[in-house]
């Protein structure tokens, strides 16, 4: 997974991540997080049919779970990362959540902005650390 993401980074070297809207960061982070989760779910549950794999993935990527994750790993974040989460949380998306409270939706957007920020910034070591912590936190708290 890490090698795949590193390959994608070659595309992003020209992007100034500091100038991007937090909603653009969240857009990228959403895709990155879902791909990471799909890979981990498949690796950990290789014999399950795709329908069950999909249900497991949805449990991770829904807004309420992402909100719980960002709260659970908050102490692990650097100050600059917390600032990105806050920018994402405070961004006005213009859409309303279907299956989550607005507060959860905003924190989920903050989490996705953080993932997108680390991806576009090209900090793969930190991105993988945060993604691994997120996965472990969710699994530990949702048995």
The whole-angstrom separation of Cα 43 and Cα 5 is 17
Tell me the pLDDT tens digit for each residue of 13-62: 667 777 889 999 999 999 999 999 999 999 988 898 999 999 999 999 99
Would you say the pTM of this structure is higher than 0.95? no
Other C-beta atoms closer than 10 Å to the C-beta of 37 total 21
Residue 68 catalytic?
A: no
Closest C-alpha among 55, 57, 85, 87 to residue 72: 85
For the cut 80, the answer to whether the pLDDT of residue 132 exceeds it is: yes
Instruction: Tell me how far apart the alpha carbons of residues 47 and 130 are, in angstroms, rounded to a whole number.
Output: 27
pLDDT > 60? residue 8: no
Question: What percent of the chain has a predicted confidence (pLDDT) above 90?
Answer: 68
Where residue 62 falls (left for φ over 0; alpha for ψ -120 to 50; beta otherwise) is: beta
- DSSP SS3 for 125: helix
CA 24 to chain CA centroid, Å, is 13
Q: Which long-range contacts (C-beta less than 8 Å, at least 24 apart) are formed by 15-19?
A: 15/120, 17/117, 17/120, 17/121
Residue pair 63/97 in contact (Cβ under 8 Å)? The answer is yes
Complete domains list, the chain, with CATH: 2-11+20-141 (1.10.1520.10)
pLDDT digit string, tens, across residues 51-108: 999 999 999 999 999 999 999 999 999 999 999 999 999 998 777 777 788 999 999 9
Catalytic residue among 30, 44, 125, 132: 30
Q: Radius of gyration (Cα) for the chain, nearest Å?
A: 15
């Amino acid at each position: 997974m890490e090698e795949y993401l590193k390959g994608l980074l070659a595309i992003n070297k020209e992007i100034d991540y500091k100038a991007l809207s937090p909603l653009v960061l969240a857009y990228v982070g959403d895709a990155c997080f879902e791909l990471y989760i799909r890979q981990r779910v498949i690796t950990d549950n290789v014999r399950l049919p795709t329908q069950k794999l999909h249900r497991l993935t949805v449990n991770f990527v829904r807004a309420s779970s992402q909100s719980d994750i960002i709260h659970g790993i908050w102490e692990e974040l650097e100050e600059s990362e917390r600032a990105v989460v806050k920018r994402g949380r405070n961004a006005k998306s213009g859409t309303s959540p279907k299956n989550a409270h607005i507060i959860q939706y905003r924190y989920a957007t903050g989490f996705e902005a953080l993932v997108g920020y680390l991806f576009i910034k090209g900090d793969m070591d930190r991105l993988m650390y945060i993604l691994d912590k997120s996965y472990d936190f969710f699994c530990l708290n949702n048995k």
